[in-house]
Structure 1
Amino acid sequence: MTDLLVLAAFIFSFLAFARTRQANERFTRDIAFLQSEIARLSAAHLPGTLVAGPATDVAVVETQAPEVEEGERSAATIEPETIEAEPASVPPEETEPQKPRESLESWLGARWAVWVGGIALALGGIFLVKVSIDAGLLSPAVRLVLAALFGAALMVGGEMIRRRGPADGGQRFANAMIPGILTAAGAVTLLGAIFAAHAVYDFIGPTTAFVLMGLVSFLVLGLSLRHGQALAGLGLAASLVTPLLIDAEDPSPWSLFAFLSLVWLAAMATARIGRWRIVPAFANIGLALWGTVYLIAEDPAVTLPVSLSLLVLIAGHAYVWPAGADDAEPEAIEDAAETLPVAEDTTTGAGDASATPVPAQRRAAHWRRLLLPRHAPIILTGAFAVLMTGLSLIGPLTETDGNPTFEFLAVTAALCFLGALRARAVTAALTAGLMAILGVSTLATLPLLLELSSIGVVAERSFATSPVAALSLAAIFIVLCAFALHRHRDRHRFAILWSGLAAVTSVACIGLSFLILGTYSFDPLHGLAATAAAIAFVTLAEIFARRDASFPSVAQGLLLAGALGQLVVAAHALSDGLWTVLAMAVFAVAFIAATRVRNWAALPWVGALGFVFVLARIGWEPTIVGPLALGRTPVLNALLPGYGIPALFALWSAYTLRDWPSDRLRNTLQAIASLFGLLTLAILVRHAMNGGQLQGGAPSLSEQSIYTLLVIGASAILMRLDLSRPGSFFRYGSIGLGAISLLMMLSAHLVGLNPYFTGELLGPYPLFDLLLIGYLLPGLAYAALARMAIGRRPPAFVAALATAAAVLVFTWATLSVRRAWQGPSIADWKGFLAGETYTYSVVWLALGVLLLVASLRFHSRSMRIVSGVLVFVTVLKVFLFDMANLEGLLRALSFMGLGIVLIGIGLFYQKVLTARPKPAADVLPGSGA
């Protein structure tokens, strides 16, 4: 009896609440009507007031200022007419009342009460069912019928309240709408009743339960058009959970994914009508989770239904929602806006930088609009859903009896087509490119992973078509690139992005397939496919350059770069060793030569990129033909053509484009040509002096000396080229090479490879020994370079070169003295002899005197400073070292010789220098002063 009273009280409470709600809504409508009438009557007098004010002001102005010109009067009288012509129902902007802030009472009464009420209704229904079950009052069938009727009553009540509600209620309380909450509670009750009838009491079979739950979910999705996006989310969640709640004896993947596809289409159609973005994103994620979990968990999995559902998803994005919602604004308008000047403030005469963004900011904003449009959540989640599920189709964890390779190709092509069809869905094309690259990697490496099948990790299946799949994907992207460029020819950023995508994806697909599955010595399949792709890229660049003069040069360059990449793959597939390097060099110089027939700005840059690829290939295999195949004959071996021919091509390219308008390009080609030349000479020296091998130990002093001389010579060549044809690369390149040579001299010649520390033998012949090439020749080279750099390079650089020359000559003289006393081995462990110590003083003083005389000849103060330093060092040696270590006649001769030299130097300064006129400027040898 108590249970029946509780049930009756609940029903009466609900009816009373509904009646009270209707009366409250009626009063609200009456008050709103009265307020609108008051506002209309008040606005009726507003235009007259506005006209009277300006008219009076104009009359006063005309009376007090009769000297005002007629043009000014006419301008003054226009203002009242303009104001009078405005509609009377539009109040002034400054008198428009602001929207009042919601009070705590309104929040509690209009929002909190609705939320808690909805929860209370759901809990009341649950408790009512529990009470009936515990008391045993009603049979299960009656309880289910009552629950279903209660759910239907809630949904009907929600619809009735919505129809009778205030017009602005949905806007004011969008997140606390009573009709939507009642409808949601009714839908949950119905779904619960159907599930209980199937899973708990077994009143209905799985098919009936599945159909009924699906109908309720679709009904909720339809009602969401009236009640908002939140209810659509509930219907979508119920639809996605429905297959989990139904325990079928023989589940069919065809029925499952057909139902999920219908649910997804219904959600997208509802979202299109409501212009929603959140529900479609969750629908994409839900479908992806279903597909991925099914493919991994089912053994074996039927992949075709999953693939078809993905195709439905892609087609829905293309033609249902968002379709072409973001494609309305043409990019040409945006590009034209970038060329408009910044508006100037006429009151101050200066432009307002904050009002109008700079072109760089505009370009960044336009790129963001292209990559992240308004409906980006839908496109991104949809592309992610296809990526995750599509890779699961061919993944190693998916066990299937068939071969889903072609299904993967179809899904990838469809996603790529979506990005080509819709300009604002370009992220789908980018995702398709990533999907293609990852898919080719998976297909190509799957045979290797099959070895793990013994532990049950990888499905045992064969993908013999993986090379064909990779080549097909490359062809698909090239064809769709042509379609996208043709369809959206007025969108330059779209063209740039698609050109780069097609180039990178096609090269990656064919290259990865060749790298993993190809035959390195000779592979005609990959070679011919790459050659055909290169021809296709060049053809696209030619067609669109002829069709549209405004076709972006960046997009054209990306197409040509794709052709170059394909040619590099073809060179590796169709040749080996030396021929591969030569073919790559020929391709690079071909793009440079093409500038004679096509004046495309991108051609020489692609040629320069080709030479960079040649350098990368050489860096990967410096011996060109492999260490075992490389001959030991100096110079006449594979290194000469492998390094020399690309160097000649690079030199010819730099010379051919010496008048090209781009300074950056000229400097780049000049740098590449110089690098190739130095690299050729250095590698030949290394091979000749290392016994016909490149991979040996650390270089000796003789080998390092040749490298140093090469760098010094290269610096001199660049300096001479800068004199004949000035350029920033020649200028800074000569300084950079000179600095590198100085570092090599300090680290190797003086410390690391110094025979005094290493103990390296100098050779049997004095003077013509290791010291000659290691110290004297580099010192003389530095002196010649310093003389050439006077007045043409910074003084600090010239001084550094001159100092290096003096240090190397001083080291040569010192070590030559030690060789004269110690023989071919001058290692430090041998100590010093008395005569050797005395000879050092004589030689150092002689060098100081020679430098002093040379300074008189060339009028060089710097040489006098070096001479003074050398003499000062000799004085320190005599007084500190010779006094302690020499004895007898040698010590006396050391001090006597030092005294005579110092007195002679003093006489030199007193008699000779004071008798000559002071030079106007200090110069180094050869300055001509």
Structure 2
Amino acid sequence: MLVALLLIVGGIVLFDTRRRVMELEDRIIMIETEAQPAAAPGAPEPVRAEHAPAEEQPPFTPTAAARRSPWTETFAEPEVAAEPEVIGDEQIGEAAYVQPASGFEDLFGRRLPIWAGGVTLAVAGALLVKYSIDSGLLSPIIRVLLGLIFGAGLIGGAEVALRQEARVRDVRVRQALAGAGLATLYAVILAAANLYHLMGPGMAFAGLAGVTALAMGLSLRFGPPSAMLGLVGGLAAPALAGADEPNIPLLSCYLALTVGGLCALSRTQRWMWLGVGALIGGAGWGGLLLLSGALDLASSLSVGLFILALGIAFPLFAFSGSRATLIRMVSAVAASAQMAALIATGGFTLLHWALFGLLSAAFLWLSGREPALRRLMPVGLAVGLLLSGAWPAPAASSFAPVILGLVLIYGGGALWRLWRPAGGLIEAGQVAGAALGSLAVSALHFYRGSAADDLRFALMALVASALPALAMAMGWSNPAQRSDARAALLATGAAILLVLAGIFGLAGWTLPLVVGIVAVALLLLAAQAGNARIEWSGWAFAFTAVASLVSGGRGLDELGRLAGMGADAAPGIALLRWSGVALALTLFAWRARLAEGRLVAQIVGALCAYGAIAQVAPVLWLGPIAALGLPLLAEGARRLPPLRLLPALATLFLLTLLWAAEPLLAWVEPAVMSLLGRPLLVNLLPDMTDMLLHLALPAALIALALVRGKAAIGPIGRQLAAIVIGLFGTIALHILYRQAFAIADHAAFVRAGLAERTIWEGLLIMAGWAAWRRFNRRGVALTLLAAGIAHNLLYTLLLHNPLWAAQAVGSVPLFNLLAPAFAIPLAGLWLAGRIMPEPAERCARFRDGGFMVLILLFAFATLRQLFTGPMLNLRHLSAGEDIGRSVLAIILATGFLLWGIRRGGRDWRIASLLLMLGAVAKVFLLDASGLTGLLRIASFLALGFSLIGIGWLYSRHLRADTH
């Protein structure tokens, strides 16, 4: 009792605080409204009294311009003309009232005492009853009667205060008296029931209900505090009555009447807080009733109807305005959740499902009445499907009408509204969701994987697909379906159901074919309907077909065949699967309107076409087959716009490169090691079969595609193709060339290595000359020349130079391999200068330096061959050869000088001097010390004449330059 009293007092205080804030806002607005406008320019300034007495100032009077609200209407103070009272020479009346000096005085001196007085009266009544109990003066019945009389008297006093408003002049007096009286009546009834046991729970419940009704009635007369007490007391009455086993139908009826009455009062008085509080309290009681345990038939029916009233009826008539829609939506969602709990706790009986059907029908009616509440329908459908899925072991005879009812209410209602002005994407989603959801929950409960189940559910899926298909057909002639997503959503739902029908009714390996067929159907449907959104759905199904193609054990095995791994036990089925998906993607690449999608479809379609062939073709021929597709596609691309088939061509080109990767890597590894000086033996290279099928033949097919489809691949593609052709062709020729010498061990490498390299380098130089002279391909010519020169410099002159490596050069002087070996780079540099004269002129010094080095190496190697025979790397050095080196150096110096004088090459002359100085130094320091007799004299004579001749040549040349 004390707790209830404290709650009432707290509610009154909070209510008064809010009222005061609202009154303050009204006063501010009123002052701003009545403010005088500024005087116009030039107008005379009004005369003001300098010392106007305070009593002559007009009092504050509310006007009609003040803002009015349900709160101000209730608490507005009446305007009563006060008769002035004469005291001495002054008149003091109501108009001379002075406001309190501070807000503190206004709150604690003028406002709170009235409410405190009402609370005090209620407490006094309680103390009076307690005193009578402690003293034993009154019997329990008398105490209860006196309490009732006291409470009624307080309410009567409130009525007197209302009728004597002219004297009381404060609306809070009657509100405080009425609140104290209602609180007293609640307390007396609870004491009579729970303390004295003078009445049973039912009678106490009825008494509390009567007080609640009285509170709602008094709220119309005395204002919101009485309504607040009615709200708190009315909703708390069933719990305060103290019944151990309440009558749930009666309780539901009481709660419905109480909440309904409060909602009606909320609407008439425009107290939204009262209606919202009543709905919240009613929802709380609904949850408590559901938690009370299993309900019998009457209880379930009463609770279900109460939930319907809370979710639909009460919010519908209790609220209006901008916030009403939100309140109705929240109430409906809460009702759906509570109805779901009722069905779950009640055992999923048909009665509970019938109540849910009533709620669903109410949703349908409500969404038609207020279009903003259309979002309730998907919520109801989702709750119904979830409940159907959670139904434990339903009988088919009970499950079928429930599912059909859900489809009829939600799917049928959405179908009727779909293409009307109020219809939209929500209705399309309901139609598709009803069809898909009903099939899903049916399969969840009744599908067991047998052949009969497969056939049954395949037929069910086909029948279910008719619902979204029918919905789309109904709007086929509607112009709106070409611009929104309704048709696409319906088409997608029907397509999913058709795929499910295929999953149930056909073998598992047909899934990619079924999905591909559905994807093509969506593509064609999009073209007929002119709706690009349907095409997007088709794209999703197309790539779902690809995903299903490579998923699972079968898909992974078939995918391995693309790389030549594994063997398919059923190549015919694999060919059919991959061909079907490739055909579907080809149609998308041809007919689709999405340009980016066509590019992707070409790539994936080309891979699937290659995959189809890979399922039946021998592994050895997969690379050539991929390369064969290039000229075929290039030939077809000649009849299409440029670059139309570039993605497919690029895909097959990449496949060709991947198949060439193995022989390329097999060639690259020994080639890289040869850069470090290890001989490149023939047994380290790819075999002839791999070279022919994966390098030579693809190079020829790429060249054919390049010739037949120049416009189809673009300039970048042509350059890339030319590079690959040159790379593959060169490596293939290199492997083939190596087979002719068959150098398989170190002895063979010593014997024929120099010859093999020299001929290869010569072929490269000759190919460069032919590319320049015959085909006018300067770029190709320079590339070949650079390759020949680089090969010679690296392998012949550096790594395997006969002067320091074991390489046989031949036994006949001058007619051996040294001349061509050292002439090849000279010829290459000379040809490069002829092809590109301007760059060669800028690099003349470097080119002349190369010439000098090559001449020196060739001359000393030839001298070495005269004394040692085929092998030049022997350590023995004879005296004659040593003297021959000095003489050769002098001869070369003379030749360099003559050439430099003739060509005007200063670098040649400097090289001559350096070479001569080196020869002089060698003769004086080395040769002279080791010679005797005529040899020493001859060496000095030769050196002397050489020096004289060189000096003469220099002096003559310099003199000619001077003149």
* 8 A Cα contact 2:114 2:172, kept in partner: no
Superposed displacement of residue 480, structure 1:
1.0
Q: 1: CA distance between counterparts of 2:755 and 2:213?
A: 107
- Please state whether the residue corresponding to 1:250 is helix, strand or coil: coil
Alignment of 1:205-224 (within 5 A): 205-220=200-215
Do residues 435 (structure 1) and 378 (structure 2) align?
A: no
Q: Confirm whether residue 570 of structure 1 aligns to residue 475 of structure 2.
A: no
Q: 1:903 Cα deviation (Å)?
A: 2.4
Letter in 2 for 1:769: T
Q: Does the Cα contact within 8 Å between 1:647 and 1:673 map onto a contact in 2?
A: no
2:573 maps to a residue whose letter is: A
**1:506 maps to which residue?**
435
TM-score (norm 2): 0.59
Native 8 Å contact 2:262 2:275 kept in 1: yes
Task: Specify which of 678, 683, 689 is matched with residue 769 of structure 1.
Answer: 689
Cα deviation, residue 513, structure 1 = 2.9
Quote how far apart the aligned CAs of 1:251 are.
2.2
State the Cα distance separating 1:428 from its structure 2 match: 1.0
Are the equivalent residues in 2 in contact too, given 1:564–1:606 (CA < 8 A)?
no
When residues 527 and 198 of structure 1 are mapped into structure 2, their CA distance, relative to the original with a 3 A threshold, is: farther
Q: Which runs of 5+ in 2 are unaligned?
A: 1-11, 45-63, 67-98, 672-681, 811-815, 841-963
Letter matched to residue 807 of structure 2? L
Structure 1 alignment gaps of length 5 or more = 1-13, 54-88, 92-101, 171-175, 327-372, 448-460, 691-701, 918-929
Q: 1:788 to 1:536 in 2, by over 3 A?
A: same
Q: CA separation in 1, counterparts of 2:226 and 2:328?
A: 22
Structure-2 change in CA distance of 1:802 and 1:376 (3 Å): farther
2:243 aligned counterpart, secondary structure = coil
2:197 is equivalent to residue 266 of structure 1: no
The match for 2:309 among 300, 305, 312 is: 312
Alignment partner, residue 575 of structure 2: 640
Q: Which residue among 199, 206, 223 is the counterpart of 1:204? A: 199
Alpha-carbon contact 1:190-1:216 (below 8 Å) kept: yes
C-alpha distance in structure 2 between counterparts of 1:504 and 1:879, whole Å: 80
What amino acid maps onto 1:381 in structure 2? Answer: V
Measured after TM superposition, the shift of residue 442 of structure 1 is: 1.9
What is the root-mean-square deviation of aligned Cα atoms in Å? 6.2
Q: Match for 1:543: what amino acid?
A: M
CA distance in 1, matches of 2:555, 2:241: 66
Aligned residue for 2:432, secondary structure, equals helix
The CA deviation at 1:884 is 13
When residues 374 and 247 of structure 1 are mapped into structure 2, their CA distance, relative to the original with a 3 A threshold, is closer
Contact 1:841–1:894 (Cα < 8 Å) also in 2: no
Give the Cα separation in 2 of the matches to 1:103 and 1:867.
Answer: 110
Decide which of 311, 318, 332 is 1:383's aligned counterpart. 332
Query: Would you say 1:136 and 2:84 are equivalent positions?
Result: no
* Aligned equivalents of 1:610, 1:617: Cα separation in 2: 10
In the alignment, is the contact (CA less than 8 A) between 1:299 and 1:400 conserved in 2?
no
1:903 counterpart residue number: 826
Alignment of 1:679 onto 2:608: yes
Identify the residue that residue 693 of structure 1 maps to in structure 2.
none
Cα distance change on mapping 1:835 and 1:37 into 2, 3 Å: closer
Over residues 705-756 of structure 1, what are the superposed CA-to-partner deviations in whole Å (9 max), with x where a residue is unaligned? 58xx75x88898888877755599x478469858976996899987899999
Structure 1 residues 742, 207: CA separation in 2 closer, same or farther (over 3 Å shift)?
farther
- 1:638 is displaced (CA, Å) by 1.6
Deviation at 1:651, TM superposition (A): 3.7
TM-score normalised to structure 1 length: 0.61
What is the alpha-carbon distance in structure 2 between the residues aligned to residue 270 and residue 482 of structure 1?
Answer: 39
1:65-100 deviation per Cα after TM superposition (whole angstroms, max 9, x unaligned): xxxxxxxxxxxxxxxxxxxxxxxx999xxxxxxxxx
Instruction: Name the structure 2 match of 1:332.
Output: none
Partner of 1:478: 411
CA offset digits 1:675-709 (Å, max 9, x no partner): 3453243255257679xxxxxxxxxxx79958xx7
The aligned counterpart of 2:807 is 889
Report if aligned partners of 1:318, 1:422 keep a CA contact under 8 Å in 2: no
Are 2:260 and 2:314, in contact at CA under 8 Å, matched by a contact in 1? no
Question: Rg: which structure is higher?
Answer: 2
| Amino acid corresponding to residue 339 of structure 2 in structure 1 | G
Instruction: Choose from 218, 238, 245 the match for 2:240.
Output: 245
Task: Pick from 482, 485, 488 the counterpart of residue 557 of structure 1.
Answer: 488
- Equivalences for residues 41-52 of structure 1 within 5 A: none
Query: In 2, Cα distance between the equivalents of 1:883 and 1:781?
Result: 39
Once the two structures are superposed, residues 367-393 of structure 1 have per-residue CA deviations (whole angstroms, 9 ceiling, x without a partner) of: xxxxxx743531342233133223323
| Structure-2 separation of matches of 1:614 and 1:262 | 60
Deviation at 1:187, TM superposition (A): 5.0
Q: Distance in 2 between matches of 1:463 and 1:556?
A: 33
- Taking structure 1 as reference, are residues 778 and 526 closer, same or farther at Cα in structure 2, changes over 3 Å only? same
The answer on whether the counterparts of 2:435 and 2:465 sit within 8 Å (CA) in structure 1 is no
Distance 1:703-1:714 versus aligned 2 partners, 3 A rule: closer
Post-superposition Cα deviations, 1:645-691, rounded to whole Å, max 9, x if no partner, equal 35435545665x47xxxx42x6646744763453243255257679x
| 2: CA distance, partners of 1:230 / 1:842 | 115
State the match for 2:447 in structure 1. 518
Q: Aligned partner of 1:909: which letter?
A: A
Amino acid across the alignment from 1:575: L
Asked whether the 8 Å contact 1:191–1:216 carries over to 2, the reply is yes
Structure-2 separation of matches of 1:732 and 1:157? 97
Q: CA deviation at 1:206?
A: 1.3
1:23-43 residue CA offsets vs partner (Å, 9 max, x unmatched): xx9xxx9x99x999998xx89
Distance 1:150 1:413 in 2: 50
> Where does residue 374 of structure 2 map in the other structure?
426
Q: Distance in 1 between matches of 2:708 and 2:109?
A: 88
Deviation at 1:888? 1.1
Q: Secondary structure at the match of 1:202?
A: coil
- 1:161-240 matches, cutoff 5 A: 190-220=185-215, 235-240=230-235
Query: Are the structure 2 counterparts of residues 588 and 833 from structure 1 closer, same or farther at C-alpha, using a change threshold of 3 Å?
Result: same
The whole-number CA distance in structure 2 between the counterparts of 1:109 and 1:784 is 103
- In the TM superposition, residue 205 of structure 1 has moved relative to its aligned partner by 1.7
Residue type of the alignment partner of 2:430: L
Q: Percent identity?
A: 18
Q: Is contact 1:685–1:703 with CA below 8 Å preserved after alignment? A: no
Deviations 1:129-160 (A, max 9, x none): 36863792576666666666676677677788
CA distance in 2, matches of 1:750, 1:277: 83
> How many residues end up aligned between the 2 structures?
734
Alpha-carbon offset, residue 424 of structure 1? 0.7
Larger RCO, structures 1/2 (Cα 8 Å, 6+ apart): 1
> What does residue range 443-482 of structure 1 map to in structure 2 within 5 Å?
443=391, 446-447=392-393, 465-466=398-399, 469-482=402-415
Return closer, same or farther for 1:849/1:306 CA change in 2, 3 Å cut-off: farther
Give the Å deviation of 1:298. 1.0
Instruction: Name the amino acid aligned to 2:577.
Output: G
Residues 580-729 of structure 1: pairs in structure 2 closer than 5 A: 581-593=512-524, 604=535, 607-615=538-546, 617-618=548-549, 620-621=551-552, 623=554, 636-652=571-587, 655=590, 657=591, 663-664=593-594, 668=597, 671-672=600-601, 675-682=604-611, 684-685=613-614, 710=626, 724-726=639-641
Cα distance change on mapping 1:823 and 1:833 into 2, 3 Å? closer
Deviations 1:331-350 (A, max 9, x none): xxxxxxxxxxxxxxxxxxxx
Using the TM superposition, name which of 252-261 and 299-308 deviates more. 299-308
Contact 1:118 1:181 in 2 (8 A): yes
Alpha-carbon separation, structure 1, partners of 2:647 and 2:690: 30
Secondary structure, counterpart of 2:387 in structure 1:
helix
Is 1:539 equivalent to 2:487 in the alignment?
Answer: no
1:499: how far off?
Answer: 1.2
CA distance in 2, matches of 1:293, 1:839: 103
Deviations along 1:148-179, one digit per CA (max 9) or x if unpaired, are 6676677677788889999xx99xxxxx9888
Mapped partners of 2:833, 2:376: distance in 1: 87
Given that residues 303 and 400 in structure 1 are in contact (C-alpha distance below 8 angstroms), is that contact kept between their aligned partners in structure 2?
Answer: no
